[in-house]
Amino acid sequence: MIPLPLSVVADVVGGTLHGTDVTLSAPAYVDSRAPLAGGLFVAVVGERVDGHAYADGAHAVLGSRPTAAPTVVVADPVAALGRLARHVVDRLDATVLAMTGSQGKTGTKDYLAAVLRGLAGEDAVVATAANNNNELGVPLTVLRADPDTRHLVVEMGARGVGHISYLCDIAPPSIAAVLNVGTAHVGEFGGREQIARAKGEIVEALPAEGTAVLNADDPLVAAMAPRTRARVVTFGEAGHLRWHDLRLDALGRPAFDLEHEGVRHPVRLRQTGIHQVPNAVAAAAMAIAAGLPADGVARALSEARAASRWRMEVDERSDGLIVVNDAYNANPDSMRAALEALVAIGRGDGARRRRTVAVLGEMKELGEEHEAGHRAVGADAARLGVDVVVVVGEAASGIADGARAGAGEVIVTAGRDEATAWVRQNAGAEDVVLVKASRGAALEVVAEAILMNGSEETTA
């Protein structure tokens, strides 16, 4: 955080200072359970919780009414937080690299941050934590930057047209990527064309001297090229940056050759799933656009470790059972990718085949596509040859309907407890279990319970 007197914050955001003019020496935060000494507590009034009630002991507060702590009072603390973040961005000597897409944002962000830290230094990079990519998360990310920050990596999400444009006003990118246009939040947007309209706002925000990184293999993304003044670089099988000789190891981890300007550089990723490849190559394109050498980028990708929880986390239980915890979020496209990874792990290196078990819950925010989307996922499981599909909850029942057309076995459970019990009783050392659903389904507890299950229950 750049040190700022609270009086300056008040001037920047158009607020009124109540109390002592303290100086901020730490970033802003919204969770009073994890206060930052010297930081700025942003008191947000939600449907159930009023942040002002938890301001006791804060160093300083940004809120809509005075508190016991020194407080900058504004009409809208969230909007004021965005204005403060823009003030800080304008004073940084840093390149802002932003990305959006229906899926893969967090994975790409993590790859890019790892590459930049590996080549530019740990202290030179600030990146979005987890997937804090909305009107709160983006400014909170920016306010973690300090005078040593040279690369600011910002994930941007949207639930409607105009959202990404607003986020780009807070953190104007000079390098921006659109990864894909899929079906995530399609119910809120009203169709993929509307999603494309919203996602493309990120390249419209670029300056003429900037770089737009677009997925050449996604027609809706490739069509965004005329929407930007910036130089356009593409990635994908048909892109300026592409991959060759793709292969998977026994845990489904990809290796490939990254081609840039006719030269190939070997990459061996540490994360599971073939869908990691376009994420990694998109990150490579952004890093190269920032001036980093392609050979160094390829080496850094090979050294990058997962930075965000519950995204294709692969763990082996003491008895040999493999659990893939991909429970952070889900939509039909990411479900399909996870199922492909499950089948790849089950297939292994050919010497040892594992039975594949997919524990699948509800995908939220599909709107009118809810039933069709769930049926499609079940059909994907059947087409891919998943041995057992365990459906969690009534809201996901469409998966069972789609899977019955060809999956080996379909188990329908009432909820997390029943699904956990079935896996504990029926899966063992020779199996691999995928656990995936939208965040609201909280299936990470199922994955963790399966891993904690002792071998005495599965080998007796």
- Please report, rounded to a whole number, the percentage of residues in the chain having pLDDT higher than 90: 87
Helices 370-384, 332-347: inter-axial angle, 10-degree rounding: 20
Number of other CB atoms surrounding residue 149 within 10 Å: 19
Look at the block and give the residue holding tokens 């921006």: 176
Verdict on whether the full-model pTM lies above 0.85 = yes
Number of other CB atoms surrounding residue 261 within 10 Å: 8
Give the pLDDT confidence of 356-393 residue by residue, as tens digits: 999 999 999 898 899 999 999 999 999 999 999 999 99
Residue 303: what pLDDT?
97
Token representation of residue 378: 């079940």
Contact yes or no for 335/373 (Cβ under 8 A): no
Nearest to 177 by CA among 230, 138, 134: 230
The confidence band for 202, taking pLDDT boundaries of 50, 70 and 90, is: very high
Instruction: Give CA separation, 168 vs 11, 14, 97, 116, 272, in Å.
Output: 22, 20, 11, 21, 32
Examine the pLDDT at 455 and tell me if it is beyond 50.
no
Residue 344: what pLDDT?
94
C-alpha torsion sign, points 395, 399, 402, 406: negative
Burial of 191-201, coded b for 16+ CB within 10 Å and e otherwise, reads: eeebbbbbbbb
Token representation of residue 100: 């959006």
CATH superfamily of 4-76: MurE/MurF, N-terminal domain (3.40.1390.10)
CATH number for the segment(s) 313-458: 3.90.190.20
Q: Where are the alpha helices (DSSP H) in 304-415?
A: 332-347, 370-384, 397-403
Strand order across the 409-413 sheet: 313-316, 322-325, 431-436, 355-360, 388-392, 409-413
Query: Checking phi first, is residue 11 left (phi over 0); if not, alpha (psi -120 to 50) or beta?
Result: alpha
CATH number for the segment(s) 92-303: 3.40.1190.10
Nearest to 66 by CA among 10, 105, 106: 10
State the chain's mean pLDDT as an integer: 94
Give the pLDDT confidence of 76-86 residue by residue, as tens digits: 999 999 999 99
Helices 105-120, 294-303: inter-axial angle, 10-degree rounding: 110
What would the mean pLDDT of 88-106 be, rounded to a whole number?
A: 96
Distance CA 432, CA 292 (A): 38
Examine the pLDDT at 349 and tell me if it is beyond 90.
no
Query: For the chain, which residues make up each domain, given as ranges?
Result: 4-76, 92-303, 313-458
Contact yes or no for 149/174 (Cβ under 8 A): no
Distance CA 366, CA 435 (A): 20
Same fold yes or no, 4-76 and 92-303: no
Contact yes or no for 96/167 (Cβ under 8 A): no
Q: Which residue has the higher pLDDT, 140 or 348?
A: 140
What would the mean pLDDT of 71-94 be, rounded to a whole number?
A: 98
